[in-house]
Structure 1
Amino acid sequence: MAKRPTTTKSKSPARYGPGVIPTREEIMEAVSEFPEINSKREIARHFGIKGDDRVALKVLLKDMEAEGLLARSRKAIRVTSELPAVAVLDIPADADADDLHAYPAKWNDDEGEKPVVRIHVPKSARVVPAPGDRILARIERGDGTVPTYTGRAMKVLDKPRKADIGIVRIDEGGARLVPVERKAREMRIEAGDLGKARDGDLVEVEVTMRGRLMIPRAKVINVIGNPHSEGAVSLIALHALEIPYRFPASVEKEALAAKEADLKGREDWREIPFVTIDPADAKDHDDAVHAEPDTDPGNPGGFIIHVGIADVSYYVRAGSDMDHEAFLRGNSVYFPDRVVPMLPERISNNLCSLREGENRASMALRIVIDANGNKKRHSFHRVMLRSAAKLSYSQAQAAIDGNPDDAAGPLLEPVLKPLWAAYGALSKARDKRGPLALDLPERRIKLDENGMVADIYVPERLEAHRLIEEMMILSNVCAAETLEKHKLSLLYRVHDAPSEEKVIALGEFLKSLELPTPRSKAMRPSDFNQILYRAEKAGKTEQVNEMVLRSQAQAEYAPGNYGHYGLNLDRYAHFTSPIRRYADLIVHRALIRALDLGDDGLTEAEEARLDQIGQHISATERRAMAAERETADRLLAHFLAGKIGARFTGKIAGVTKAGLFVRLDETGADGFVPASTLGTDYFRYMEDQQALVGERTGERFRIGDRVDVRLLEAAPMAGALRFEILSEGERIRPPGRGRPQRRAKPAPRGRRARR
């Protein structure tokens, strides 16, 4: 091998013989000293690298980028910036309180990945930071090629409000910023403050007060992208709610390096004809199912159900970069135009997706039920399975209904009919259990090639959907029971009973509808189902559905169990979707540890943090729901923006002192009707009735009422619609009056009352 030459701080380039490439230290020294050495070609020329050695150099440079030693801005390569002696740092909310780490509060992505700063807190420290804090810290750089940093907190700082974002609209003399927040106002951007922003770009801005009148002005500090050109209105919600949607290089590298699991330590279940049943457009398949009659004479009419769930824990190990990123995300987020996955595509759509005809590592269940759907016993297994077919819900349902296609036909007798028979037994157990039976149709938005709304529809609710739901619910119960039996801490999926205040409010509302009111403040799900049944018979389903939904608590993840009220279950833990929910991954690891199924189970450090993990992923779930809802609102506002003045039918979905929220029948779009536009009367908010009632006329607009409205205004980027109401409300006794008065001639609907 040729002898490596010694580099010197001379501008004469060092030359290398065949088979030798420079070290990391030599490359960093050269790039730092000579500004002209800013590309792969220049680095190769500087060191005299030729021929096949260029490939090895290219690999080394890529590794140095991944390690954070070099940064690339387009094609230019440079040494990553170092932190100053004093810097503002953010400690992540998920940081270990006993081993804090932080990142620079401000960091240019062109400089490479954010450096990690380990926070040292001596016993004598006067400032003791905590997870989630922003601090001013003194920074010390460690020795070595790869920069390492240690920080000591000097002061805990107040976190500023997250940056304002909006859409740039170029005009004469500069531009205006169209806000994405509903209540925010437009601001001016002077020509010199636009930076690289172009018309239509989504940008982050810094707001400054200028001039004698202190008029707010926006200055562009970061160009996020162009939602229209990318067909991605969801980009607004991702940035407004600070949802990570790009995987760090280290995470992608870890995913690409993952190797397919083999049979070692696994049972071979590949002969069982599992099938996946999912939406037609699904790209990842967490779960596969199979059922067969139980031949045990002691269980006449019973079934054996097999459920296979992707073994994500094998690929995503606790403490790895992928694990850290999955925790930060908490869950996948689903938009009409994109999916922001919890895990990189190599894992979610490939190695962990139970693809048809391919060997896949799985956590599996064998469940024995009797003829009435009651579980007799179950067991968990770590297996290798191979899905016999990938079916959509509609395919599977059509086959059962007598119209099988080429894919489902051969599976009808041996696979699908036994599955449906087992589901029939599970349905009996579900009906006996009596979960909350709220009917909540979910609208879907279909986009065209430009990323705008092409169609809005409500998918048909099929037996195939309910079959998969029941088998997944049963699997989740099994997971919770097994972990409790082995006395291992776990994250439950919990849903509390409605509060006494909400039950009382529901009773007052039902009384106003002349429907029976709850006899007890401690209501069971079956009591709510009785209320819903009576409302349906009285033709008041829409009003009561809304109020029953509002009376319910929000489900969450927690290590303390208080049951799942909505499902009417004593114990419940999410286990069936580890590709898209971090909670399920934690439950998988706990099962592996409890049942001694491998060395990748729940760690003691994770077990100690379950409460913190539960709080975090409950918050990311709510964040995802808000992002999905806001994106749908913006898409629908875009869709309706060309229909100003059009008339629509809908129902009142909410009532406040300020006005009415109306949901349109055709699209499901929500808009607002200000109370001041309802006519010449003064409308008083009646909380017990969830209504606005005219003080003089007794005209009432109540939640759930059917109304006609006209669209007056649409703000697409804010996702806001404003309507005027065209219908007249129901007449009742005016509040505080002896009897209804003769109605005066009404002012035209939509005209503001003079007061």
Structure 2
Amino acid sequence: MKNNGHPSGLLDEFEGTVQGHRDGHGFVQRDDGEADIYLPPNEMRAVLHKDRVKARIVRQDRRGRPEGRVVEIVDRPEQPIIGRLLHEGGVWLVAPEDKRYGQDVLIPKGATGPAKVGQVVVVQLTEPPALFGQPVGRVKEVLGEIDDPGMEIEIAVRKYGVPHEFSEAGMAEAKAIPDKVRPSDKKGRVDLTDVPLVTIDGEDARDFDDAVYCEPAKVGRGKGWRLLVAIADVSAYVQTGSPIDIDAYDRATSVYFPRRVIPMLPEKLSNGLCSLNPEVERLCMVCDMLVAADGEMYAYQFYPAVMFSHARFTYTEVAAILGNTRGPEAAKRKERVKDLLNLSDVYKALLKQRSRRGAVDFETTETQIVCDDAGRIEKIVPRTRNEAHKIIEEAMLAANVCSADFINESKHPGLYRVHEGPTPEKKEVLRGYLKAMGVGLSITDDPKPGEFQAIAEATKDRPDSQQIHTMLLRSMSQAIYTPINSGHFGLAYEAYTHFTSPIRRYPDLLVHRVIKAILGKTKYTLPMLPTPGEAHAKLAKRLASRVKAPTQKPQKAVVAPTKEVQAWQAAGLHCSANERRADEASRDVEAWLKCKYMREHLGEEYGGVVSSATTFGIFVTLDAMYVEGLVHITELGGEYFKFDEMRQELRGERTGIRYAIGTRVRVQVSRVDLDGRKIDFRLVREGEDLTARAMKDKGVSSGGAPTKASAKRGARGKSADSAPVAAERMEAGPQSAMQAFKSAVKKAANKMKGRKPRR
């Protein structure tokens, strides 16, 4: 990289991806992993969100951020823009639904197609933006009215580029697949049709990846269990490089929305021939395990089989049977009760082994959106994990670990599910936080997952346990798919992969193919291996900008990855990035639905808990609705609030009032921005003046004079700021932004009086 003689290397050029901001400015996400570069609004006029650009740093802005200038547009991806068609002052234009695009798109008079004013449309650009000109486009597709049921999903799949239509070739191939297992399909497979395998899933499940069976068995010289996990054999029907396979790889995962699923595979496979439906024969891959009494994996084997599901259970039903083996649910399924008890026994053994291993196991609240027939939210309810959920979870973990060990021992390349420990920066933040909160435990320089679990256990009964556990979770890294096995930190496994969901995850399908190749003493090769060079490097950089690659331990000699390893790396990056894409699209739809739901509750008051504190305010999650919104710092009262990064809290300098994760508050719904997916709250004063209570606790009277208590503390040399806030609910009355601004300015001016200028 050239410096051009400029001090500090400000003129060094770099490549990256533009990320727009709804306020008009933007950033360049650098391919080299360095910090994002700020782009002022004038620089954003000639570029679009998601553009690939070459840029350079030209100055530091007043906040000390490096400010960039776009030198060249390297690539402008074919990206449709979704928005509402407007007609203003005789001009047709589309206001993008994704505000990160920053500019409306002009539509020539004859390019509106059949679209009507106010409808949601998809626009294809015909002229790019310029410094003195808006982008121009034409209406490519009309999605409908903004209030049409499911419109939020139609918008999200296009906004995030989620493939939602199968290719004609893929559909033709699916149509030609038989409707049931044929006698010829069973050749070379173990017949398990007499083994009472069952599926256990949620009430609303439509595709069934896995079936389970357990029986007592002699393991070594002691007692134990034989656990069978049978997984749908998708690889028997989806051949490498086939049209269905190409479509599946493009999607990489199924995407789940409220009331709708965009599957990875055509429905004939996902809900039909590959789904382990009850009382029909299905092809499967089996992980057959012997588990010792202490939960250790004694032995395992893989083989292709044909199975017959003897029952389709729901989690609720299984939990009820295990809770009362003489109850009405058990009476209906009496021939399967013993098998379920065996599953419960092996689960408890695996759970003990999990505890000894030191795996992280935090209890978190997941929610489910329940919609009516029109697609509107009826209610948001917490998902409860009962014993049946945990039984299936442990069984799937066991099968995944065995598949990773099988691939690893065979020295065959494949995709591992890697989850690394916290970065050095996150470790320092967590250490400082634990010390500031007086936890008494910390993490080492090379922490093990057991250290995190020990902290969670030691603090579970504290009033601020939710806050502490949230910080522990936030210090973790994201899991990714990669051929380089670095272990799974959270689960405390030396090797881990995904084997159990090939209907909805492409990495699982690849793992099945690898296992079959090993069993057949052959080698599975990814199609169309990329040629090492600039093209592959660009792909890796682009994907790595969205998904951070695992940290590799330094080696004595750096060996360039082979062509084969590069192919697996590219596949892992692709699957990881598209997994994030699916998550983002799902969250976007949920946020849209929640905003639309909360528009009907403007002005209403609710109790809630602070879920996050930032420099600009606090995020609050409502108790009854599980909806999160922002209380801006200007709504916290007429004083100066300082963000304490160590404690992750906002604290008022005058009153000492504190807002941290877990603080209970009462709020009013003040504003809903549907386009921005944002909900704003304001704090509500409830009964006693809580600000006065906080000031009293700090030792300051309402007039600002120190109380006797504070004077005594001062005499002992103890800072009043360190006093804890006793109030469970810490609330302050609402003030307008202008009032807060004036107060802050006045306070700053008073502080500056009498100060000598710095030399």
Scaled by the length of structure 2, the TM-score of the pair is 0.73
SS at match of 1:301: strand
How far off its partner does 1:667 sit? 2.1
Per the alignment, residue 120 of structure 2 pairs with: 202
> Which consecutive unaligned segments of at least 5 residues does structure 2 have?
1-16, 18-49, 54-71, 530-563, 701-717, 726-730, 746-759
1:683 to 641, 660, 664: 641
Once residues 128 and 225 of structure 2 are traced to their aligned partners in structure 1, the CA distance between those partners, rounded to angstroms, is 74
Per the alignment, residue 274 of structure 1 pairs with: 197
Per the alignment, residue 316 of structure 1 pairs with: 238
Per the alignment, residue 664 of structure 2 pairs with: 706
Per the alignment, residue 165 of structure 1 pairs with: 82
Per the alignment, residue 405 of structure 2 pairs with: 481
Conservation of the 8 A alpha-carbon contact between 1:593 and 1:602 = no
Q: Given the alignment of the two structures, is residue 546 of structure 1 paired with residue 504 of structure 2, yes or no?
A: no
Once residues 203 and 503 of structure 1 are traced to their aligned partners in structure 2, the CA distance between those partners, rounded to angstroms, is 46
Per the alignment, residue 446 of structure 1 pairs with: 370
Per the alignment, residue 4 of structure 1 pairs with: none
Per the alignment, residue 295 of structure 2 pairs with: 373
Q: Quick one: which amino acid aligns to residue 576 of structure 2?
A: S
For residues 58-457 of structure 1, the aligned pairs below 5 Å read 157-159=74-76, 162-168=79-85, 179-181=96-98, 187=104, 192=109, 194-198=112-116, 201-205=119-123, 220-226=138-144, 228-259=147-178, 260-261=180-181, 262-295=185-218, 298-402=220-324, 403-405=327-329, 409-457=333-381
Per the alignment, residue 11 of structure 1 pairs with: none
Once residues 168 and 383 of structure 1 are traced to their aligned partners in structure 2, the CA distance between those partners, rounded to angstroms, is 55
How far off its partner does 1:191 sit? 9.2
Per the alignment, residue 712 of structure 2 pairs with: none
The change in CA–CA distance for 1:591 and 1:605 in structure 2 (over 3 A counts) is farther
For residues 724-735 of structure 1, the aligned pairs below 5 Å read 724-726=682-684
SS at match of 1:510: helix
Per the alignment, residue 496 of structure 1 pairs with: 420
Conservation of the 8 A alpha-carbon contact between 2:636 and 2:732 = no
> Alignment identity in percent?
33
Q: Deviations over 1:614-637 (max 9, x none)?
A: 011000111111111111111011
How far off its partner does 1:434 sit? 2.2
SS at match of 1:411: helix
Once residues 354 and 525 of structure 2 are traced to their aligned partners in structure 1, the CA distance between those partners, rounded to angstroms, is 32
Once residues 331 and 283 of structure 1 are traced to their aligned partners in structure 2, the CA distance between those partners, rounded to angstroms, is 16
Per the alignment, residue 497 of structure 2 pairs with: 573
Q: Quick one: which amino acid aligns to residue 234 of structure 1?
A: I
How far off its partner does 1:670 sit? 2.0
Q: Deviations over 1:411-454 (max 9, x none)?
A: 33342222222222222222222210211111000110001101
The change in CA–CA distance for 1:290 and 1:696 in structure 2 (over 3 A counts) is same
The change in CA–CA distance for 1:306 and 1:677 in structure 2 (over 3 A counts) is same
Conservation of the 8 A alpha-carbon contact between 1:396 and 1:416 = yes
Q: Quick one: which amino acid aligns to residue 587 of structure 2?
A: R
How far off its partner does 1:572 sit? 0.5
Q: Quick one: which amino acid aligns to residue 638 of structure 2?
A: T
Conservation of the 8 A alpha-carbon contact between 1:314 and 1:600 = no
For residues 645-684 of structure 1, the aligned pairs below 5 Å read 645-684=603-642
2:508 to 584, 594, 612: 584
Q: Deviations over 1:177-199 (max 9, x none)?
A: 56433667795977936432235
The change in CA–CA distance for 1:733 and 1:425 in structure 2 (over 3 A counts) is same
How far off its partner does 1:161 sit? 8.1
How far off its partner does 1:517 sit? 4.2
Q: Quick one: which amino acid aligns to residue 205 of structure 2?
A: A
How far off its partner does 1:231 sit? 2.5
Once residues 469 and 516 of structure 1 are traced to their aligned partners in structure 2, the CA distance between those partners, rounded to angstroms, is 32
Q: Deviations over 1:498-532 (max 9, x none)?
A: 12221221122223323224152322222112222
Conservation of the 8 A alpha-carbon contact between 2:629 and 2:679 = yes
The change in CA–CA distance for 1:158 and 1:216 in structure 2 (over 3 A counts) is closer
Per the alignment, residue 8 of structure 2 pairs with: none
How far off its partner does 1:214 sit? 6.3
Q: Deviations over 1:703-740 (max 9, x none)?
A: 33222221111122432111112365766699xx9756
Conservation of the 8 A alpha-carbon contact between 2:211 and 2:229 = yes
How far off its partner does 1:201 sit? 3.1
How far off its partner does 1:317 sit? 0.8
Once residues 673 and 174 of structure 2 are traced to their aligned partners in structure 1, the CA distance between those partners, rounded to angstroms, is 41
SS at match of 1:655: strand
> Which consecutive unaligned segments of at least 5 residues does structure 1 have?
1-92, 94-131, 136-154
The change in CA–CA distance for 1:183 and 1:670 in structure 2 (over 3 A counts) is farther
Q: Deviations over 1:242-276 (max 9, x none)?
A: 11111111111111112354211211111101000
RMSD value over aligned CA atoms? 3.5
How far off its partner does 1:175 sit? 7.3
Once residues 318 and 208 of structure 1 are traced to their aligned partners in structure 2, the CA distance between those partners, rounded to angstroms, is 37
The change in CA–CA distance for 1:416 and 1:602 in structure 2 (over 3 A counts) is farther
Per the alignment, residue 562 of structure 1 pairs with: 486
Conservation of the 8 A alpha-carbon contact between 1:491 and 1:610 = yes
SS at match of 1:443: strand
Per the alignment, residue 519 of structure 2 pairs with: 595
How far off its partner does 1:690 sit? 1.5
Per the alignment, residue 60 of structure 1 pairs with: none
Conservation of the 8 A alpha-carbon contact between 2:684 and 2:733 = no
Conservation of the 8 A alpha-carbon contact between 1:173 and 1:191 = no
Conservation of the 8 A alpha-carbon contact between 1:173 and 1:190 = no
Q: Quick one: which amino acid aligns to residue 293 of structure 1?
A: P
Moved more, 408-417 or 532-541: 408-417
Per the alignment, residue 445 of structure 2 pairs with: 521
Conservation of the 8 A alpha-carbon contact between 2:367 and 2:383 = yes
Q: Given the alignment of the two structures, is residue 619 of structure 1 paired with residue 577 of structure 2, yes or no?
A: yes
How far off its partner does 1:700 sit? 2.6
The change in CA–CA distance for 1:161 and 1:325 in structure 2 (over 3 A counts) is closer
Once residues 534 and 486 of structure 1 are traced to their aligned partners in structure 2, the CA distance between those partners, rounded to angstroms, is 41
Which structure has the bigger radius of gyration? 1
Conservation of the 8 A alpha-carbon contact between 2:289 and 2:297 = yes
How far off its partner does 1:749 sit? 3.7
Once residues 588 and 739 of structure 1 are traced to their aligned partners in structure 2, the CA distance between those partners, rounded to angstroms, is 63
The change in CA–CA distance for 1:475 and 1:738 in structure 2 (over 3 A counts) is closer
The change in CA–CA distance for 1:560 and 1:514 in structure 2 (over 3 A counts) is same
Once residues 258 and 357 of structure 2 are traced to their aligned partners in structure 1, the CA distance between those partners, rounded to angstroms, is 35
Conservation of the 8 A alpha-carbon contact between 2:80 and 2:158 = no
How far off its partner does 1:234 sit? 1.7
Per the alignment, residue 587 of structure 2 pairs with: 629
